[in-house]
C-alpha cells in the first residue's frame, strides 16, 4: 500500500490516533506548494469526495474579545457529550501580512484541543492558488472524510472574511457584544444580509442591554426582509437574534436547537443542497479566475513588458485601459 492509499484508508477507516495523524498529514499535503504534492492532493481529494458532505458547516465571526473561543470551546465540549465529533478551522485574511493566526494559541481552547473527539487547526498558509480560502475549503472536506460531523470555521471579521466564510458554510453566525454600537456597526458592514443567526454574547453582564440589542437586531432583520417574512413558506428560514453567555454556558444548548431547526428547514425547502451546489460552482469560478491571473502575470512576455507599461501609465503617456489591452494581446 503506497503512502496515498494508506492516508486514504486511515482517514476513512482508521482508529482515532492513526486517523488524526492521517488528517494532519493530508492537510500538510494540501498546503504544500510543490507541484507533485499538489497533484497528489488533488488525487486524494477526488478519492475522498464520496466520504464528504455529511457535516454541519458553521461559520462564526466576531470582533476580537467578543468571546468566539469561549463559545467554540463550551459548545464543542457540549456537542461531544451529545455524540458529535467537532473540527475547528480558522480563516484569517490578515495572517499573510502580520504572520499571526486567530487560533495560533490553542491554550485559549485547551480543554477542547485536548479532547480526542475534537480537532483544531490554525489558519492555513496562503500564497498558493486560491490562498487561505481554498485551503480552508479543502480542510473542511478532509475533516468530513475523517468523520467530523460538526465543522466550525472561525474568522475575525477582517476585510472580506465574512463573505468568504459565509460562502463555504451552511450557516453563518455573527457574535456581537450587548451594546448599540456593535448593532449599528453590524448593519453598516452589511453583515445582516449574510447572517443566519446573530448571537448577543456576555448577556449575563447586562441583561437589559442584551435584550435591547436582540430586539434591535430582530427589527433590522424584519426591515431587511420587507414583506418576505409574511409571504414566505412556513419552512423558509428567517434570521434570528439570540442572547447567551458563552462563559457560563447559559443559552448554548438553546443555540444548538436553533441550529438544528435551521438545518431541518433548509433541507426541507431544498435550500441546503442549493446553497452547497452554488458554493461549489463559486469555488470553481474563483479558482479559475485566480489561476488565469497567476498564469498571465507569470507569462515571460507579460513580465518583461509590464514594468515599462506601468511607468507609461504612471506618467500619463498611455491610458490604463489601452495598456491592459496591449498586455492581453501578447
How far is it, in rounded angstroms, from Cα 198 to Cα 214? 8
Q: Give strand pairing partners of 175.
A: 199
Instruction: Write down all domains in the chain, each with its CATH number in brackets.
Output: 1-50 (1.20.5.170), 52-269 (3.40.50.300), 286-328 (no CATH)
Q: What is the pTM of this model?
A: 0.85
What is the full per-residue pLDDT of the chain (330 aa) written as tens digits?
A: 678 888 888 888 888 888 999 999 999 898 887 889 989 999 999 999 999 999 999 999 887 888 898 999 999 999 999 999 999 998 765 555 444 444 454 667 889 989 999 999 876 545 444 456 778 899 999 999 999 999 999 887 665 678 888 899 999 998 888 875 555 555 555 777 788 998 888 877 777 777 777 777 877 777 776 644 444 555 678 888 888 888 888 889 999 999 999 999 999 999 999 999 999 999 999 889 888 988 998 899 999 999 999 999 999 999 999 999 999 988
Cell numbers linked to 196? 443566519
Note the pLDDT of residue 129.
Answer: 40
The full 3-state SS of the chain, as one line of letters, equals: CCHHHHHHHHHHHCCHHHHHHHHHHHHHHHHCCCHHHHHHHHHHHHHHHHHCCCCEEEEEECCCCCCHHHHHHHHHHHHHHCCCCEEEEEECCCHHHHCCCCCCCHHHHHHHHCCCCEEEECCCCCCCCCHHHHHHHHHHHHHHHCCCCEEEEEECCCCCHHHHHHCCCCEEEEEECCCHHHHHHHHHCCHHHCCCEEEECCCCCCHHHHHHHHHHHHHHHHHHHCCHHHHCCCCCCCCEEEECECCCCECHHHHHHHHHHHHHHHHHHCHHHHHHHHHHHHHHHHHHHHHHHHHHHHCHHHHHHHHHHHHHHHCCCCCHHHHHHHHHCC
Amino acid at each position: 500500500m503506497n503512502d496515498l492509499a494508506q492516508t486514504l484508508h486511515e482517514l476513512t477507516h482508521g482508529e482515532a490516533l492513526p486517523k488524526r495523524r492521517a488528517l494532519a498529514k493530508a492537510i500538510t499535503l494540501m498546503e504544500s506548494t510543490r507541484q507533485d504534492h499538489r497533484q497528489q492532493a488533488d488525487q486524494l481529494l477526488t478519492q475522498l469526495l464520496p466520504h464528504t458532505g455529511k457535516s454541519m458547516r458553521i461559520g462564526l465571526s466576531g470582533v476580537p474579545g467578543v468571546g468566539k473561543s469561549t463559545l467554540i470551546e463550551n459548545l464543542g465540549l457540549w456537542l461531544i457529550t451529545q455524540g458529535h465529533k467537532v473540527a475547528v478551522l480558522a480563516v484569517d485574511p490578515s495572517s499573510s501580512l502580520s504572520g499571526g493566526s486567530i487560533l495560533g494559541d490553542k491554550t485559549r481552547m485547551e480543554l477542547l484541543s485536548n479532547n480526542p473527539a475534537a480537532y483544531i487547526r490554525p489558519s492555513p498558509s496562503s500564497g498558493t492558488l486560491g490562498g487561505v480560502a481554498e485551503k480552508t475549503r479543502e480542510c473542511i472536506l478532509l475533516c468530513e472524510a475523517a468523520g467530523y460531523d460538526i465543522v466550525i470555521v472561525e474568522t475575525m471579521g477582517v476585510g472580506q472574511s465574512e463573505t468568504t466564510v459565509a460562502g463555504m458554510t451552511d450557516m453563518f453566525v455573527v457574535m456581537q457584544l450587548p451594546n448599540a454600537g456593535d448593532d449599528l456597526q453590524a448593519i453598516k458592514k452589511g453583515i445582516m444580509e449574510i447572517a443566519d443567526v446573530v448571537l448577543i454574547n456576555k448577556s449575563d453582564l447586562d441583561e437589559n442591554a442584551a435584550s435591547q440589542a436582540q430586539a434591535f437586531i430582530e427589527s433590522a432583520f424584519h426591515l431587511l426582509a420587507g414583506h418576505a417574512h409574511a409571504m414566505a413558506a412556513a419552512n423558509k428560514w428567517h434570521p434570528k437574534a439570540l442572547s447567551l453567555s458563552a462563559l457560563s454556558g447559559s443559552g448554548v444548548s438553546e443555540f444548538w436547537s436553533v441550529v438544528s431547526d435551521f438545518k431541518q428547514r433548509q433541507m426541507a425547502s431544498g435550500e441546503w443542497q442549493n446553497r452547497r451546489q452554488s458554493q461549489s460552482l463559486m469555488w470553481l469560478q474563483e479558482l479559475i479566475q485566480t489561476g488565469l491571473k497567476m498564469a498571465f502575470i507569470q507569462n515571460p512576455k507579460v513580465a518583461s513588458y509590464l514594468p515599462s507599461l506601468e511607468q507609461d501609465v504612471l506618467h500619463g503617456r498611455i491610458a490604463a485601459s489601452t495598456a491592459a489591452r496591449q498586455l492581453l494581446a501578447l
